[in-house]
A and B are shown apart, each in its own frame.
Chain A
Amino acid sequence: MTLDLLPIGRTARIVTVDWSALVPEEARRLRALGLEEGAKVSLAHRGVFGGRDPLAIAVGRMTVALRRAHASAMTVELLEEVSA
């Protein structure tokens, strides 16, 4: 499953990232924000219009907005739901 398909509120771990599908600058920026292999992420919000783009991803104690196009380059595995 890719990150853009993650249901809202679920937590997952980024397994692989197809860096070649991203513009080098954006790839660097995503890395700098902690969105890379091994990161634990959850989908917090989706945008309003057309295809519910962009996405707000919670990573660590930070929330990062990115587009579906970026998220679809990231393969994730669902983590077990931990009761809140």
Chain B
Amino acid sequence: MSRSRKIALVGNPNAGKSALFNALTGARQKIANYPGVTVERKFGRVVLPTGEPVEMTDLPGAYGLDPTSPDEEVTSKVVRGQFPGEAEPDVLVIVLDASNLEQHLVFAQELLSLGKPTVIALNMVDLAERDGLVLDPEVLQQELGVRVIPTVAVRRRGLIELGEAIASAESRHAGPGITDLGQTERRVAAHAMAEAAILSESKRHRLHARLDRLLLNPWIGPVILLALLFVVFQAVFAWANPLIDGLEEGMAALSDYVTAILPAGLLRDLLTDGIIAGVGSVVVFLPQIVILFAFILAMEASGYMARAAFLMDRLMSYVGLSGRSFIPLLSSFACAIPGIMATRSISDPKDRLTTILIAPMMTCSARLPVYAVIIGAFIPARTVGWGIGLQGLVLFALYISGIMGAFLAALVLRRSITRGEASGFIMELPKYQLPRLKDMAIGLWQRGWIFLRRAGTIIFTVTVILWVMLNFPKAAPGESQVDASIAGHLANGLAVVVEPIGFNRDMALSLIPAMAAREVAVSSLATTYAVDDEDEAQQAVDLGNRLRNSWTLPMALAFLAWFVFAPQCMSTIAVTRRETNGWKWPAFMLAYLFTLAYIAAGATFWLATAAGL
């Protein structure tokens, strides 16, 4: 049986490769990582018009075969058949942006010099025409010696012709003169070819220039960016609420159902208190993650993301980062997991590592339940003047502490552990485009699935382990289960460690299950203080009362300070391990963030005590 042929889509970034890939494969695509690197491998099956099934790969965008980033290295190795475990592609489809020919033909010539069967997709010809640029594919075909098919991926124009050309693409010899050209010669040739292919050209991209004049305006640009961010935050925190409530109700219903059909016992407890409660506490963040990603994907697809990076670059450069770190850090306010995943767009490895290491300090939504309960219990609901509430002010201070901590950490890291050549900021500002609903839907589905799969594996495992630690060994009659459990004994040990920063044993105990996810600290405290109320709002009120009776204000403040920094999130650690390919950096992250948390909580406790609070 012969294996199906492999087709690789290759081209410059922003050539519309992914849109073409989506149009060709539809939903029949898979996404994974190339082994050993955190570069996404996208592939899918396509049936050519001849009936031949082929495997198509969307290679990461590159500017040349001489790599300057991990993405480009993958592309460069795969097209030459040098990537271990990855079969050499049988046919290359070079994707060119019709309105950026002069630029994209440089890489195209380099690819053609490989001498492989090749077809060229002259993509986005409609946008070029809208810009007043009419091209003659025939001229390019003659110059390059391979089939050139005009396509508009998003309107499915030219796809059948492209499929036919792929089916009939033959091996060829790289024409003389094209093989051993240097970069400069290729550029000169690209210029000549692009000029020759232009049938008519009018004044170029007015719309883009006008949008840039507005969005990159030194005064209006940042205001628009801030307004947009405000909308994103509103959406993530407000629009997601009904969906989160729905999911929580669903989890509760599922739990009730299991309780109803299973006899009381260990298995039932494991399913309801362990798995459904634990995995459920993470799955409820799905709406926020999907909404956040919808905005991020729309910003990326429209071309605005690069402008946001442009506007923020200078501010980020003060702490040794670049504009590219802005979006991952912003995403981390919803959840550090998508934030850390978004660092893949940072080409400089040390920039990227620094961004990953500081991302957990951005106040994620899982901290909010903890903050809300403690602030509600200990900070009086009064104003401090000008209509500013004290509770809101404390919450704001917690957010700011996280940001300041992150920036200070970046500053220190960039001067020590992740020191490197001053990382620059060089990026193409792509043309503006209306995001396509279908591409957005595919992107959202992939992101959501990655998140759910993680909830189903890592978080599932951790949840079960925690449940076992809290439920074994079984307590003797009259003894509290928590005290008798492994976790209880651990808490006794932990209490000695956290005593100097003002934490009592109950606080220490709540930190253990909160390793799975921070907000579990709340339910754990509720268990410890024997608050048993189905209604969550009532539970918070009751818990507040009990906390006020057992904690002092300095203790509560120290607890808040702890949660600003403490890396209490298994999923973040797991995703860091995956994105950095090993345990070294997640271990470092745990160590430095716990140290920071310890110092911050201790300082808060002793300062507050000294101030007589």
Q: Are B426 and A64 in contact (CB under 8 A)?
A: yes
CB of B222 closer than 8 Å to a CB of A:
yes
Scoring A residues 27 to 58 as 1 if CB is less than 8 Å from chain B, else 0, what string do you get?
01111111011000000111111111110100
Q: Are A62 and B426 in contact (CB under 8 A)?
A: no
Chain A nearest Cβ from B47, distance in angstroms: 35
Given contacts A25-B68, A32-B63, A60-B102, contact A52 B425 (CB under 8 A): no
B208: chain A residues at CB < 8 Å are 63
Given contacts A25-B68, A47-B313, A65-B310, contact A33 B426 (CB under 8 A): yes
A1: chain B residues at CB < 8 Å are none
B347: chain A residues at CB < 8 Å are 29
Residue of A51, A60, A70 near B424 (CB, 8 A) is: A70
B107: chain A residues at CB < 8 Å are 32
Chain B nearest Cβ from A72, distance in angstroms: 12
Residue of B209, B313, B428 near A33 (CB, 8 A) is: B428
Q: Are A54 and B63 in contact (CB under 8 A)?
A: no
Scoring B residues 195 to 210 as 1 if CB is less than 8 Å from chain A, else 0, what string do you get?
0000000011100110
When C-beta atoms are compared, the residue in chain B nearest to A84 turns out to be: B203
Given contacts A29-B63, A60-B100, contact A65 B425 (CB under 8 A): yes
A28: chain B residues at CB < 8 Å are 64, 66, 68
A64: chain B residues at CB < 8 Å are 426-429
B317: chain A residues at CB < 8 Å are 53, 67
Chain A nearest Cβ from B418, distance in angstroms: 15
A15: chain B residues at CB < 8 Å are none
Residue of B99, B218, B422, B428 near A63 (CB, 8 A) is: B428
> How many residues of chain A have a CB within 8 Å of chain B?
35
Residue of B99, B131, B221, B425 near A54 (CB, 8 A) is: B425
**For chain A residues 12-26, which have a beta carbon within 8 Å of chain B?**
23, 25-26
Chain B nearest Cβ from A16, distance in angstroms: 14
Residue of B64, B222, B310 near A56 (CB, 8 A) is: B310
When C-beta atoms are compared, the residue in chain B nearest to A26 turns out to be: B424
Given contacts A29-B426, A60-B102, A61-B99, contact A36 B184 (CB under 8 A): yes
Q: Are B313 and A65 in contact (CB under 8 A)?
A: yes
When C-beta atoms are compared, the residue in chain B nearest to A57 turns out to be: B429
Q: Are A62 and B218 in contact (CB under 8 A)?
A: no
B interface: dominant SS = helix
B212: chain A residues at CB < 8 Å are 44-45, 56, 63
Chain A nearest Cβ from B427, distance in angstroms: 5
Chain B nearest Cβ from A11, distance in angstroms: 13
Residue of B63, B209, B218 near A48 (CB, 8 A) is: B218
B64: chain A residues at CB < 8 Å are 28, 32
Give A65 to B313 CA distance when docked, in angstroms: 10
Give A23 to B221 CA distance when docked, in angstroms: 30
Q: Are A65 and B218 in contact (CB under 8 A)?
A: no
A29: chain B residues at CB < 8 Å are 63, 68, 347, 426
B309: chain A residues at CB < 8 Å are 65
Give A4 to B315 CA distance when docked, in angstroms: 19
When C-beta atoms are compared, the residue in chain B nearest to A69 turns out to be: B424
Chain B nearest Cβ from A84, distance in angstroms: 8
When C-beta atoms are compared, the residue in chain A nearest to B421 turns out to be: A23
CB of B50 closer than 8 Å to a CB of A:
no
When C-beta atoms are compared, the residue in chain B nearest to A49 turns out to be: B314
Q: Are A62 and B424 in contact (CB under 8 A)?
A: no
A interface: dominant SS = mixed
Q: Are B222 and A48 in contact (CB under 8 A)?
A: yes
Chain A nearest Cβ from B13, distance in angstroms: 10
Give A51 to B314 CA distance when docked, in angstroms: 9
A49: chain B residues at CB < 8 Å are 314-315
Chain A nearest Cβ from B75, distance in angstroms: 13
Q: Are A61 and B103 in contact (CB under 8 A)?
A: yes
Give A12 to B250 CA distance when docked, in angstroms: 63
Q: Are A61 and B426 in contact (CB under 8 A)?
A: no
Most buried by A among B318, B323, B426: B426
Given contacts A61-B205, A62-B100, contact A36 B187 (CB under 8 A): yes
When C-beta atoms are compared, the residue in chain A nearest to B62 turns out to be: A32
Chain B nearest Cβ from A48, distance in angstroms: 5
When C-beta atoms are compared, the residue in chain A nearest to B314 turns out to be: A49
CB of B306 closer than 8 Å to a CB of A:
yes
When C-beta atoms are compared, the residue in chain A nearest to B213 turns out to be: A45
B184: chain A residues at CB < 8 Å are 36-37
Chain A nearest Cβ from B23, distance in angstroms: 23
Given contacts A34-B103, A54-B425, contact A65 B314 (CB under 8 A): no
Q: Are A70 and B313 in contact (CB under 8 A)?
A: no
CB of B216 closer than 8 Å to a CB of A:
yes
A44: chain B residues at CB < 8 Å are 209, 212, 216
Scoring B residues 88 to 109 as 1 if CB is less than 8 Å from chain A, else 0, what string do you get?
0000000000011011001100
CB of B311 closer than 8 Å to a CB of A:
yes
Q: Are A45 and B216 in contact (CB under 8 A)?
A: yes
CB of B183 closer than 8 Å to a CB of A:
yes
CB of A66 closer than 8 Å to a CB of B:
yes
Give A25 to B317 CA distance when docked, in angstroms: 19
- A contact set with B: CB distance below 8 Å: 23, 25-26, 28-34, 36-37, 44-54, 56, 60-67, 69-70, 84
6 other contacts beyond A28-B68, A37-B184, with CB at 8 A cut-off? Answer: A23-B421, A34-B187, A36-B187, A47-B313, A50-B314, A53-B313
Q: Which 9 A-B pairs have the closest CB atoms?
A: A32-B63, A49-B314, A63-B429, A45-B216, A23-B421, A48-B218, A25-B68, A66-B426, A29-B68
23 contacts between A and B (CB under 8 A): A23-B422, A23-B424, A25-B68, A29-B426, A30-B426, A34-B106, A36-B184, A37-B184, A44-B212, A47-B310, A48-B311, A52-B218, A53-B313, A54-B425, A56-B429, A61-B204, A62-B100, A62-B428, A65-B306, A65-B428, A65-B429, A66-B426, A67-B317
- B contact set with A: CB distance below 8 Å: 63-64, 66, 68, 99-100, 102-103, 106-107, 131, 183-184, 187, 203-205, 208-209, 212-213, 216, 218, 221-222, 306, 309-311, 313-315, 317-318, 323, 347, 421-422, 424-429
